[in-house]
Structure 1
Amino acid sequence: MSVFTTVSEADLQPFLKRYALGTLVELKGIAAGVTNTNYFVTTTHGRYVLTLFETLMADELDYYVKLMAHLAHHGIAVAAPIANFDDQYVDELNGRPTLLVNCLPGVVVDHPNAGQCGEVGEMLAQMHLAANSYSGHMDNPRGPHWWTHTAAEVYGFMPAEEAAQLHDEVLFQAEWSRNALPRGVIHADLFRDNVLMNGDHVGGFIDFYYACNDTLLYDVAITLNDWCVTGNGDIDPERARAFLAAYQSVRPLTDSERTAWPAMLRAAALRFWVSRLFDFHKPASGEMTFAKDPGHFQRVLLCHRQRTDFWL
């Protein structure tokens, strides 16, 4: 994520003495995203990712950190948290709650192929099943209530026609119920930049700090909307079919999920259109931050509203 809080080598060296990770070799900021501060930390023992949380407090991290440990325990490719000598995952650095995790193999793939999309779909389904036994619970803080109230904060910044489109979609989403759909733990932000691909296989899922309990289908829609999208906001059908077939080879969708699928694709696009509008018009301050294009998910949403083939 972006660097909001500066960490120097002088800051980090005494911090690392609380861990069995050796001595510092290199510290490098990660300039992507909009929420937390991330650094690559290379030591004499290996390479790690250091996260400083800019909005979450230490007592709010329990759900996410224990979820990551739970998934790693069940063989899901995630960055496992590392405990310090006091057996605590969450530490503190420069006044921020801090976490160290293993650096997973692989790289972010900007232009995935159908096979890679299938690998992500299969691992996402396995993650959903593995999380069934996780005892933590966190209601989605960015669900329909959030996007309704956040949209109201940005209407005034938008051209009238676009504000009307946004308002119309918020009303549409309020008119149907998700209560009958299977629920569980979801990643809620499984974009390409939150997956490391080790060749054509998943090296790991990262950045679980939007994870929560919600409808599993919503997670599927969020992931497909990024992994299978084209430059104009449409969805590549070959990648979409590969992704969905692989997901369903592990966890077949129910009849109620199939019925809800077109509306859920729109809900997933709406959520990120709203968040990007808010970040664009009301940005947080940071040293290496950038706001992503809100129009991208507006285009994704408009394509979903017009489509008739949903790849199932």
Structure 2
Amino acid sequence: MAVYTEVTDEALEAFLELYDLGTLVSFRGIAEGVENSNYMLKTTHGDFILTLYEKRVNPEDLPYFLGLMEHLSAQGLTCPLPVRARSGANLNPLSGKIAAITTFLPGVWPRRVGLAHCAPLGTALARLHLAGQDFAMTRKNGLGPDAWAPLLAKCADGADGVQAGLAAELNEWLPGILGAWPANLPKGQIHADLFPDNVFFLGDELSGLIDFYFACTDFYAYDLAVCLNAWCFERDFSFNITRAQALLKAYDAVRPLSPAERAALPVLAQGAALRFLLTRLYDWLNTPPGAMVTRKDPLDYYRRLRFHLTARSEHAYGL
């Protein structure tokens, strides 16, 4: 989440007239994240999130994102539910952008990930994958393997300013990852960005999953690889195999992993690390001055990628 587009009081009042949400109580920007402009919206009917979709989001993808959230919610998964206007539309124009309102989920995301978070995460991710199986729409992963070489090329001139020799290393590693990428793993609707700040807890209970704006149709095990990267490293970037084992065993208990999925975990984890390294690197080099957004260090994922490049089998992840 972030704020790139400012919304005036007058524009917001006119926008809210489209909805049955009562009277505005408060409105403030949310700085976390990098993709869209997000605001916390409070009305006399409750708390909501207002999202304005920025240039990286293809407007043609929005019906998929919002439809998937509606579908998953109807299947019993706790996630934000798009609010429809009086017209029935869940997308409407605001301040020159397309915007949506979703329900607000209670809970807090874990600022320091612990072992107790990982099994509930694995269970929730498996439930998401099962709940999405009969969702009719599909969406290609726009930040999957086909995107990595072009993205690296866009960052090549600035990469060595972040770390000396970074461009050469990435160009060396990329062909091996792409060459080993699997072709026929089980696939369906995945979250693709299930970082700790997208998972809410109330006490020890997982209370919901948010931010489905990278969701797509791809390998289920790739979604697990994203989580291995995001949840299973210590602050010194050492890999916590105990967390990984808890995550994978809880997932496997709900949706059993195939032998091919298990064997592919090292390269999937390499690809997931590379994907976030490249998008963070691009944002690091291209975030507009003055944007209300928190830039994230791409070298965090360089260090994760180096670990995954040493993994030879699923045993490196506790299986």
The alignment's TM-score, normalised by the length of structure 1, stands at 0.96
> How many angstroms does 1:291 deviate by?
1.9
User: Match for residue 257 of structure 1?
Assistant: 261
Distance 1:236 1:255 in 2: 23
Supply the AA of the counterpart residue of 2:292. Answer: M
User: Match for residue 27 of structure 1?
Assistant: 27
Distance 1:60 1:174 in 2: 26
> How many angstroms does 1:305 deviate by?
1.9
Deviation readout 1:223-270 (Å, 9 max, x if unpaired): 121112211223212211111111111011100011111111111101
Deviation readout 1:29-78 (Å, 9 max, x if unpaired): 10011110000000111000000001235443111110000000000111
What is the Cα-based RMSD across aligned positions, in Å?
Answer: 1.5
Distance 1:121 1:169 in 2: 29
User: Match for residue 238 of structure 1?
Assistant: 242
Distance 1:164 1:84 in 2: 51
Given the alignment, which residue of 184, 187, 208 partners 2:212?
Answer: 208
User: Match for residue 174 of structure 1?
Assistant: 178
- Equivalence map 1:80-99=2 (5 Å): 80-99=81-100
Deviation readout 1:63-110 (Å, 9 max, x if unpaired): 111000000000011101110000111111111111111100101211
User: Match for residue 318 of structure 2?
Assistant: 311
Structure 2: unaligned runs, 5 residues or longer? none
What secondary structure, in the 3-state scheme, does the structure 2 residue paired with 1:133 have? Answer: coil
Distance 1:80 1:133 in 2: 18
What secondary structure, in the 3-state scheme, does the structure 2 residue paired with 1:111 have? Answer: coil
What secondary structure, in the 3-state scheme, does the structure 2 residue paired with 1:42 have? Answer: strand
* Shift in alpha-carbon separation, 1:286–1:3, aligned structure 2, 3 A: farther
1:301 partnered with 2:308: no
Equivalent residues, number? 312
> How many angstroms does 1:10 deviate by?
2.9
Deviation readout 1:114-133 (Å, 9 max, x if unpaired): 12111111000000011000
- Contact (CA 8 Å) 1:2, 1:286: kept in 2 or not? no
> Quick check: 222-231 or 63-72, which moved more?
222-231
Distance 1:21 1:255 in 2: 49
Structure 1 residue ranges, 4+ long, deviating more than 6 angstroms after superposition = none
> Quick check: 112-121 or 42-51, which moved more?
112-121
> How many angstroms does 1:177 deviate by?
3.8
- Contact (CA 8 Å) 1:128, 1:185: kept in 2 or not? yes
User: Match for residue 9 of structure 1?
Assistant: 9
What secondary structure, in the 3-state scheme, does the structure 2 residue paired with 1:132 have? Answer: coil
- Contact (CA 8 Å) 2:61, 2:139: kept in 1 or not? no
- Contact (CA 8 Å) 1:41, 1:49: kept in 2 or not? yes
- Contact (CA 8 Å) 2:109, 2:197: kept in 1 or not? yes
> How many angstroms does 1:197 deviate by?
1.4
1:189 partnered with 2:196: no
1:42 partnered with 2:49: no
* Shift in alpha-carbon separation, 1:146–1:285, aligned structure 2, 3 A: farther
Distance 1:149 1:310 in 2: 30
Supply the AA of the counterpart residue of 2:317. Answer: F
Distance 1:238 1:194 in 2: 22
Distance 2:80 2:196 in 1: 16
Supply the AA of the counterpart residue of 1:150. Answer: L
Structure 1: unaligned runs, 5 residues or longer? none
- Contact (CA 8 Å) 1:233, 1:297: kept in 2 or not? no
Given the alignment, which residue of 260, 278, 282 partners 2:282?
Answer: 278
Distance 1:184 1:258 in 2: 17
Distance 1:219 1:230 in 2: 20
Distance 1:75 1:187 in 2: 16
Given the alignment, which residue of 226, 239, 246 partners 1:222?
Answer: 226
- Contact (CA 8 Å) 1:77, 1:202: kept in 2 or not? no
- Contact (CA 8 Å) 1:107, 1:197: kept in 2 or not? yes
